Chain A
């Protein structure tokens, strides 16, 4: 009993401290934004506050890290070039651990900070949850890489990347129209939103195309080390092409295991496949039969892309992947839209949002993921997907 009391005492003390800290941070941000924490940011501010949300811890950290860096690079460049309409950008990134609940917490933290617009979130399920609250607050959001349809269901939300159905549809079309194969197998992550979304659209479109899906096998987040069964089934069904709508982390294992069993079909992936050559220590020969649909290739000779890749490598020591590129373009899109709308940092985030909704459909930017990138009012970008083929350990764009 005495022990329990002591524990309660200790815990209560800790809690008191925690609460104090909480109030402290709360009041601090309030004085910063000059109003009562409702997201309205009146007062006189000298800079635009742009927040970003994504996972930097947990299993999906690699994507959040890329977005964090890509956006940061863009912010640096924009600020050096004079900012948005003469105003500097303040940039703040919050971790969501790839969890919807944590993402809402991150969003609220940014709201307390006085965010004018949000670049995020990185992954789909958290993005849907944040979309719901940002719509209620009327804060503008542009997700660099939230691919699920519902990510942009409200009029305040836009995205830089392709949607899941769009990727599945385009992949199936490409395979069918170019006659890559007659028999196709699909392997997908049945516990993942992105992977299932693409897979479903792919199978749907496959009916209209001149090939047959001979095997469709799934895996889950809990068993993603061994792909021998899925590959064996594809092989037994005689598939000449295996569709892999998931991330390169798992794909590198699939490629390795396929080579182990002497199975050499064409592998076809989506934008999540991008970055596979950058995996440290990856045997590039395994990827020689790999094609994927991506808006971004780090080896492109385009001047903008080359500059982006070099700067990114200098700053972060890594080759940027498509997530970093999407975030980079996203930040420039926010800049373009803000300038188009002529907003100023002393406007409330809700007024900024209303102005940006309209401005987004008018701008066109030449970014690293597309030239002449424009947006529709439904939040979808209009850009052409590119198919990239890996040959001799390097990316090459297929016309």
Chain B
């Protein structure tokens, strides 16, 4: 019996690869296994190789596995493209229809299973993915009855017969596979999981759910990979709360419409990826100078320009911190897990209103689209704080004077009234302005307003700005990362520790303003600092050096080929330093 394994299904895009992985993983989730799924796909609807790699474990996993135990192939290209990932003793389950071959028989065993033929015999070749699911389940020793509920949910509306046929296809696939395996059936039987119900979702689901729980009732957005799932979820759910989503004509409209709605008092978000964020930059500056709260999600993908639109990268960091001309207060939060993405969205809306500034929630493709098992989200942790929002009646201002919406205060945050409030009239403008919002170019006023705005973030309160895993007072190496690299770093850390290297780990969650106070002692107490990031120029390392110094001991571990870090890559690169 084994406690974890890695499974991958591959074939041509549009041919049911997605649903094979989906059904298989939902069943595993129901049985109580922890999962981590990552899809390889292209920017096209049909055709082109696609695959879905799923790691299955009886304990929490947060990274793609280094290697592969089982490869399910719907075409030869899948075998040729992925065979190198198979571990010694792995297996390939391939559709017998294309006469599959494997390049190295000493490494893995090939099982040709007539996916298409079995499915055709049962009624339609479309069910070949169900046959593959059945075959995979047999290898793991899963109880096939778990699929009854799953198949019912997916095909129930198509009628009992379709449900029955699909179940039959799963059983037939399992039966065929068991016969093929013979005595080898013991090889990859999975230990039983605890059977507990857990959420299984992509990061974008958690972001959308977090927005809903955080009080967002409106969204303006433009479709883009890998952010669209956020708007798609909210399009379904917001009407239940009286809200709605507008799909705008472009990202500039999305951002400015969200600014308008936030100005009027509704918690509103927009979400996009690099190209959209580039278009939003001027509007982000507007939110900054007008002190309008707004939450913007940036799901990073490969850049620049269209770059690698369906691939992993973390190269928007500098743009998110410094983007927009001029200088504004801005908060950048980078969750590293799906759970954090949920809570960070709630907090993002609170911070946006408390500090009256744009908040960017930064994710990456791996976090946004990777599907993982999530420990329960706690309802009691959801809190709504609206800062200095003025409610109730306001005193009349004589002589048509204006409300001091931009009053210079000690903490820099001014009272905020919403349009529609009597005696609250004031002007809002992207032009430098005085305390009532009227344009002003007076030097002293400029300094007062600039200082007031920038002062707001001096004492920002953010729960756990750095997720730390500190085992040593003095470490040989401190590994630093952000967003989805957390799992790979944690696994590399375990292996380095086994080699006798003392490792501390800091995963930065509040990117800006930079948590210097938390990071400095960690950097000081480490002999070397390794910053792991999916970009070519070491953006996080540069920010770290800029804020905490110690440039001489900061080393880069970079990957920018479009693929996420694997644990062994982080391990090997760190190991090379010793």
The answer to whether A binds B is no
B interface residues (Cβ-Cβ under 8 A, vs A): none
